[in-house]
Structure 1
Amino acid sequence: MYKIGNIYFIAAIAVIGGGLFGFDISSMSAVISTQPYLCQFNQQGFNEKGQCMGPTDDVQGGITAAMPGGSWLGALISGIVSDTFGRKKSIQMGSLVWIIGSIIVCASVNIPMLVVGRIINGFSVGICSAQVPVYISELAPPSKRGRLVGFQQWAITWGILIMFFICYGSSFLDGNAAFRLPWGLQAVPAALLLLGLCFLPESPRWLAKNDRWEEAKEVLTLVHGHGDPNSLWVHREIDEIREVVEFERANADVSYFELFTPKMLNRTSIGVFTQIWSQLTGMNVMMYYITYVFTMAGLAEGGGNAVLLPSGIQFVINVVMTVPALLWMDRWGRRPTLLVGAFFMCLWLCINAGLFAAYSRPARHGEFTSTAESMSITGAPAKAIIASTYLFVASFAPTWGPVSWTYPPELYPLRLRGKAVALCTSANWAFNFALAYFVPPAFATITWRTYVLFATFCAAMFLHVFFMFPETANKPLEEVEEIFDDSKPGSVKYIGTPAWKTRNTRNLVLRQERNEIPMSEEKAGYQEHKETVNP
């Protein structure tokens, strides 16, 4: 079958797997405040205005959390699936599972059926969200790796935006079609992903690990050599991959347990906390429950769907503000991007907490449809809440959003990459599950202090990144090992290079990719190869 070698096209198809997560976020956030949804899954009867109250806060938290709960399991097993069947086939399996889950969700007539469908959808998202970054990182050249893996986050933001406005348009439909139509349309991108992957190559590093060396070289020639089998860059890559594969086979058996050995524990903790911190920023909570926040800020006074359109503005901001990271993240580096994002998100969360604490009043009985909407704030402070929320999204989008997907695949050796990224992503979904379940009761009980909690997390992640997260931008995946392991033979020291001393080497790697200088003139066989190609 014809294979496409353009790395940007490959990334554009693969990251549809990330877009599925975005579709799910807004397919829930955009409907939880609408009457057709509240009436179909009503548990609390009616308020004084005759409106359906919908599920209880605990049950709504459970419905929302069902998807990340399934994603945790999907991410955890995705490493085994990916190592066994290949990166590409594992993503295709995930897309097929999503279609099944979407059918069940669309047909849901009660809460248990809805929860089961969302768990199945989550299982799919767990597989795709873990393995799409691995697949792209193993195909991408070092100088473009951050940008290309960052497309995963951009696809998530586009999924959120597209599905939100589909939900917004559907909200004007009569009856259950208001939420069944967007839930059914979720299956369309998964079908495109399933078919599109048929025309993409497999990861050359996975092929090499499974002794399919000719196929691995063909993929590298197609994607990096632009069809030239004598490309120096291709020969260097295949030599480095061969060296790593042979070393790993001679020195280690692959299992999840190796991730917790002294040599790997440091980078395992860094990768896991990258994903945990991305959740503890509170961004996905903002996405799921943004209609609650804006209702408390008075944007629902017009009734009906009045709160949906201003809520959609933040999704537009999310899409637009991810673009700078795609353009310049490899130039900025990973560390500065994460540090700047943590600082500004902490600032906006503190402002929101202060405004709600100083200017809000407790919600009156029957004022809102959910007890999670526990505060009411009006006037200039309410406008400041809205502006601060938008600025929070604008701070997350070019920083922790794309880097949290880009960074973990760069940390691990080939033999462990699939399983390691699966473990990291499962941590993401475990905390996503907990927070999705936690936030409605938190707004109901500790009100504005919920913002203080997330601001504290942002301050903690700033310190953690500064002292522990090394720079990996623009380094070939096989060279990242040197950052973490400065040990000598017979030594048990696995400290590596201190994080704050690591640097971005963009100019060097750009010259290597353009074949202006060899990647390592000391490597055995390099001079022989140069004389063979240029006699």
Structure 2
Amino acid sequence: MEDPEIVSQQHISPPDKNKKPRLNRFALACATLASTNSILLGYDIGVMSGAVLYIRDTMKITSVQVEILVGSLNVCSLIGSLASGRTSDLIGRRYTIVLAAATFLIGALLMGLAPSFPFLLAGRVIAGIGVGYSLMIAPVYTAEVSPKMTRGFLTALPEVFINIGILLGYIFNFALSGLPAHINWRLMLGLAALPAAVVAAGVMVMPESPRWLVMKGRLSEAKRVLRKTSENDEEAVSRFEEIIKAATAASSAGDFQGQGVWKELLIRPTRATRRILLSAIGMNFFMQASGNDAVIYYTPEVFKNAGIRRRKQLVGVTVIMGIAKTAFCLVSALMLDNFGRRPLLLLGTLGMAVSLAGLGLGSKFLEHSNSKPLWAIILCVVAVCADVSFFSIGLGPITWVYSSEIFPMRLRAQGSSLAVSVNRLVSGAVAMSFLSISRKISFGGMFFVLSGVMVVGFIFFFFFVPETKGRSLEEIGSMFEKDKEKDKGRDDDEEPNNNNAAAAAGATDG
């Protein structure tokens, strides 16, 4: 169907399929604004790795309290990620981003002004809820507003901004480490309130997601957004018709406004929905089971164990790691729409397995050596930088891209929130047990375990994660439905039927 409000010309030449897709500037601006919310989590990850050294000295807390303090943000972000799906369906994607930033701002102020450990922990809890909201909503909004040919790059921007936030956290650690110990960590944590305020204000100039607008019946607004985020009127018409078709199917199923979604996801999922859930949850599980967040949080502890003693040097090494991590994440984002999701995911996972094995080898040697040889220290530093770099090539950006694009429209918000909830739960569990387990089996043993986890992850991704490059969000949902129909067809063929030969002959004749 042609819509007169979008199509200004009756005769439009067909697009050149060999032509390299252009990056729509308005879509890029929307994706960038939404993704800046992810700086908040990245900054906390980066800054906490250095701040915890001074918090331990100032508040005289134990190692178990350190693990609780660090991991509480990730565990409590489970609350925000679970609530974000329903919230974003009710109030919209844009206002959910504002809510996420405002919640994190309150948590950051509490952490910076905390007079005691319980107050500091309360600030972490509130900030964690804000992080949970932002981790789910930024990729979903970006995926829904992006054209299909550049969606990979745009939806990877949240991970790029997480890495920028981590790097900023490292830089502020380094810059503020010379201040008195009772002041520097407060500034490190409290300064996170500034970007949160900027994000909350900046997001208000963004348009709403066109798919959410269609779900709410605001079709003229959806058309205007699609016109701005598409390369031409024909693309806008095509995207609008696909969204309307998906919304109509959701409406006829009785879940147009989000009712019954959890039942369809968890209680009575179709075969296609089970496959989507397995892929999305599996990817989010392995993203955090890789130990990436814990390695970043506890890098100073690892390097201290490796023989780097001065705190300025410890923080300085993390800055180098942050630069490598951010650079490779940006490279991956730029390549996603050319090389696809699967090749980069498999490369990154295999690279992490090798890097973690190297880190385990170096750590094991240092544990049994009194001299702390330079080559082993260099091996550990290089292996950590390689590990976070391969994470930034594969699991880091692709998890957010995949989780936000794989679910059909009626399930996207709450399905993504479920996948991100698994992400946060595993991240918190790893962060809160990393030091305790490492004391039992040593840092080297822990890294060997994580390397084994990545080998299992590689096998999972190879068999269960299909390619989604170049497909619209509606086409991706249809892809799983078609796979379901193929499987059903195979099952039917395997059933005994006296008419099989005749049916096959008839199909051949046709």
Determine which of 249, 252, 258 is the counterpart of 1:250: 252
Assess, with a 3 A threshold, how the Cα gap between structure 1 residues 22 and 494 changes in structure 2: closer, same or farther.
farther
Contact 2:290–2:454 (8 Å) recurs in 1? yes
- 1:362 is displaced (CA, Å) by 8.2
**Matches for 1:105-120 after TM superposition, within 5 Å:** 105-120=111-126
Give, in angstroms, the shift of residue 377 of structure 1: 4.1
Q: Which amino acid aligns with 2:241?
A: D
Where do 5+ consecutive residues of structure 2 fail to align? Answer: 1-23, 492-510
Partner residue of 2:362 out of 351, 355, 359: 355
- Shift of residue 282, structure 1, vs aligned partner: 1.7
Deviation at 1:474, TM superposition (A): 1.3
Q: How does 1:231-246 map to 2 (within 5 A)?
A: 231-246=233-248
Report whether the alignment pairs 1:439 with 2:441: no
The Cα of 1:236 is off from its aligned counterpart by 1.2
| Preserved contact between residue 28 and residue 154 of structure 2 (Cα < 8 Å) | yes
CA 1:334/1:492 → structure 2, altered by over 3 Å: closer, same or farther?
closer
* 308-317 vs 347-356, which moves further: 347-356
Quote how far apart the aligned CAs of 1:304 are. Answer: 4.1
| 1:11 positional shift | 1.4
Amino acid at match of 1:284: D
Q: Is the 8 A contact 2:45 2:296 kept in 1?
A: yes
SS at match of 1:412: coil
**What does the per-residue CA deviation read over 1:277-297, in whole Å, with 9 as the maximum and x for residues that have no partner?**
111122111110000111112
Match for residue 398 of structure 2 among 394, 403, 422: 403
1:480 aligns with 2:476: yes
1:100-157 deviations in Å (ceiling 9; x for gaps): 1111111112111111100100100100110110000000001111101111111001
List 4+ stretches of structure 1 deviating above 4 A. none
Aligned twin of 1:193: 199
% identical equivalent positions: 26
Aligned with 1:246: secondary structure? Answer: helix
Tell me if the contact between 2:329 and 2:397 (Cα under 8 Å) persists in the aligned partners: yes
Alignment partner for residue 6 of structure 1, among 22, 26, 29?
26
* Aligned pair partner of 2:62 in 46, 56, 65: 56
CA contact (8 A) 1:40 1:109 kept: no
Q: Which residue of 2 is the match for residue 464 of structure 1?
A: 460
Q: CA deviation at 1:384?
A: 1.1
Q: Distance in 2 between matches of 1:430 and 1:174?
A: 35
Q: Distance in 2 between matches of 1:395 and 1:465?
A: 15
Give me the whole-angstrom Cα distance separating, in 2, the residues matched to 1:353 and 1:185.
35
Contact 1:23 1:156 in 2 (8 A): yes
Aligned partner of residue 475 in structure 1, secondary structure: coil
Structure 1 residues 495 and 180: alpha-carbon distance in aligned structure 2, compared to 1, 3 A threshold: farther
Q: Distance in 1 between matches of 2:289 and 2:65?
A: 22
Assess, with a 3 A threshold, how the Cα gap between structure 1 residues 362 and 84 changes in structure 2: closer, same or farther: farther
Contact kept? 2:104, 2:130, Cα under 8 Å = yes
Verify: 1:38 aligned to 2:56, yes or no. yes
Instruction: Determine if contact 1:101/1:120 at 8 Å carries over to the other structure.
Output: yes
TM-score, with normalisation over the residues of structure 2? 0.87
Q: Give RMSD over aligned pairs.
A: 2.0
Q: For residue 41 of structure 1, what is the amino acid of its counterpart?
A: M
1:5 CA displacement: 7.0
| Structure 1 position 209 matched with structure 2 position 215 | yes
Residues in 2 aligned to 1:195 and 1:327: alpha-carbon distance in whole angstroms: 28
1:87-98 aligned at under 5 Å gives the runs 87-98=93-104
TM-score, L = length of structure 1:
0.83
Question: Within 2, Cα distance between the matches of 1:56 and 1:291?
Answer: 16
Quote how far apart the aligned CAs of 1:17 are.
1.2
Query: Alpha carbons of 1:488 and 1:198: their partners in 2 closer, same or farther (altered >3 Å)?
Result: closer
Is the contact between residue 16 and residue 190 of structure 1 (CA under 8 Å) also seen in structure 2? Answer: no
Question: C-alpha deviations, 1:190-227, integer Å up to 9, x for none?
Answer: 1111111111100000000111111111111122257x
Deviations 1:153-177 (A, max 9, x none): 1100110111221122111112422
Q: CA deviation at 1:430?
A: 0.2
- Residue pairs, 1:44-443, within 5 angstroms: 55-224=61-230, 231-253=233-255, 254-260=260-266, 261-263=269-271, 264-300=273-309, 303-361=310-368, 377-443=372-438
Query: Separation in 2 of the partners of 1:106 and 1:488?
Result: 52
CA shift digits 1:43-70 (9 cap, x unpaired): xxxxxxxxxxxx2221111000110011
More helix by share: 2
Q: Secondary structure at the match of 1:188?
A: helix
1:38 deviation in Å? 2.2
Query: Could you list the per-position Cα deviations for residues 327-364 of structure 1 after superposition, in whole angstroms to 9, with x for gaps in the alignment?
Result: 1111111111111111111011112222333442389x
Question: Alpha-carbon deviation of 1:268?
Answer: 0.6
Deviates more, 1:386-395 or 1:339-348: 386-395
Q: Is the 8 A contact 2:51 2:188 kept in 1?
A: no
Residues 1:19 and 2:63 aligned together = no
Contact 2:243 2:474 in 1 (8 A): yes
Question: Could you say what secondary structure the match of 2:246 adopts?
Answer: helix
**What is the number of residues matched between the two proteins?**
460
Q: Distance in 1 between matches of 2:91 and 2:352?
A: 40
Q: 1:501 corresponds to which residue?
A: none
